[in-house]
Amino acid sequence: MQIQQNISLKQYNTFGIDVNAANFISIENKEELKTFLKGNKQPILILGGGSNVLLTKNVEGIVLKNNLKGIEKLKEDNNSVELKVKSGENWHEFVLYCIANNYSGIENLSLIPGSVGAAPMQNIGAYGVEVKDVIMSVEAMNLKDCSIHHFKNKSCEFGYRSSIFKTKEKGNYFITSVTFKLNKTPKINTSYGAIEKELNQRGITQPTIKDVSDVVISIRKSKLPDPTEIGNSGSFFKNPIVSKDIKEKIRASYSDVPSYSQSNGDFKLAAGWLIEQCGWKGKIIDNYGVHANQALVLVNYGGAKGADIFKLSEDIINSVKNTFGIELEREVNII
């Protein structure tokens, strides 16, 4: 266990923001984490893949880079399998592992960057699937007293891009592993239009989970900028959920507003569409801006400061508020 000083975090966040961490340590196992926490007095920033953070300043305390690795099979029968996955495993590699073993449930979540441990943090979701649907429990170590807690699915309080770890228990735990229950008899979900369309184009009528994963990967590659080429953190804002009245009010002026009905009668609007209507799509300010193909994605063209990108996000929030009366919420964690 070696603490390094004054480390650049540029390669540890997908935005590619160049700030320094006063102290930095890679955590390889739970015992190491416990030993470290017992002697620690500094503020902690946990980093997995750094794909959902915007670093706006130097980190004065210590960065714990999660490197807990391993996949353990807890239980298996003819229908399902339970896997306990250490939190430092790469999410997409875990998805590929499941596909290779014909374990179904997360193929729609292919190619989402980051670690397994961060997946429950914001209940990652894409193409009609959320990770909460396959999580049985989350194991986490309390950062103050090193006690281990097992959060059952229900006590994680999962919501749209949210969980108890992002709300009530924010900053209190290091997620050490996640236990998933996956299907051995594939339940294919092609409810998301783009998947169905792409499968049709490929002439696939009875898709396997590998087919779904391949299609999702190809759609994502065509839509989202690759962080290894252009710094970004995926969707910067959440899609706002509004009442029917508000949706209708907007529809009166913008007949083409996309909206998706929710089970409680509310409607989800596309944040990217709202931002685009305000004229931000493709906007470039010095070395950062709004992506040309997807207005929900803010980008660093190289050398941008986190504080500048934060200011841009504030300007976008104000502009959408003035135009539509809707206050966008950031999905990305601002550090």
Ligand X SMILES: Cc1cc2nc3c(=O)[nH]c(=O)nc-3n(C[C@H](O)[C@H](O)[C@H](O)COP(=O)(O)OP(=O)(O)OC[C@H]3O[C@@H](n4cnc5c(N)ncnc54)[C@H](O)[C@@H]3O)c2cc1C
Q: Round to whole Å and give the CA distance between 155 and 272.
A: 31
- Rounded-to-integer distance, Cα 298 and Cα 307, Å: 13
Q: Which of 36, 94, 151, 174 binds ligand X (CB under 6 A)?
A: 174
Rounded-to-integer distance, Cα 165 and Cα 66, Å: 16
Element (H, E) at 324: helix 306-324
DSSP code, position 291: -
55: amino acid identity, one letter = L
47 interacts with ligand X by CB under 6 A: yes
Q: What are the tokens at 319?
A: 């502009």
Q: Which stretch binds ligand X (CB under 6 A): 145-153, 167-175, 246-254, 288-296?
A: 167-175
Identify the H or E element spanning 210: helix 209-223
Q: Does 294 bind ligand X (CB under 6 A)?
A: no
Q: Is 235 a catalytic residue?
A: yes
Q: How far is the CB of 3 from ligand X (least distance, A)?
A: 18
Q: Which residue, 25 or 224, has its beta carbon nearer to ligand X?
A: 224
Q: Is 139 a catalytic residue?
A: no
331 flagged as catalytic: yes
Contact between 163 and ligand X per CB under 6 A: no
- Judge whether 208 and 186 are in contact, CB under 8 Å: yes
For 73, phi and psi rounded to 5 degrees?
-90, 120
Q: State which amino acid sits at residue 158.
A: F
Distance CA(19)–CA(9), nearest Å, equals: 6
What is the x/- site pattern for ligand X, positions 254-273, by CB under 6 A?
A: --------------------
Select the residue interacting with ligand X from 234, 240, 272, 306 (CB under 6 A): 234
> Across-strand partners of 84?
72, 179
Q: Which of 213, 235, 313, 330 is catalytic?
A: 235
Does residue 177 belong to the site contacting ligand X (CB under 6 A)?
A: no
Minimum distance from CB of 48 to ligand X (Å)?
A: 2
Residue with token string 């961060």: 118
| 95 interacts with ligand X by CB under 6 A | no
User: In which residue are the tokens 């190289």 written?
Assistant: 302
DSSP annotation of 104 = B
Q: With binding defined as CB under 6 A, does residue 115 bind ligand X?
A: yes
Which part of the chain contacts ligand X (CB under 6 A), choosing from 96-104, 107-115, 187-195, 283-291? 107-115
Rule CB under 6 A: is residue 120 a binding residue for ligand X?
no
Nearer to ligand X (CB atom), residue 150 or residue 244 = 150
Residue 16 as a binder of ligand X (CB under 6 A): the answer is no
The residue range among 3-11, 19-27, 145-153, 171-179 that interacts with ligand X, by the rule CB under 6 A, is: 171-179
- The single-letter DSSP state of residue 166 is T
Q: What is the distance in angstroms between the CA of the first residue and the CA of the last residue of the chain?
A: 25
Could you give the residue numbers annotated as active site?
161, 235, 331
Binding residues for ligand X (CB under 6 A): 14, 45-53, 66, 87, 112-115, 117-119, 121-122, 124-126, 173-175, 224, 227, 232-234, 333
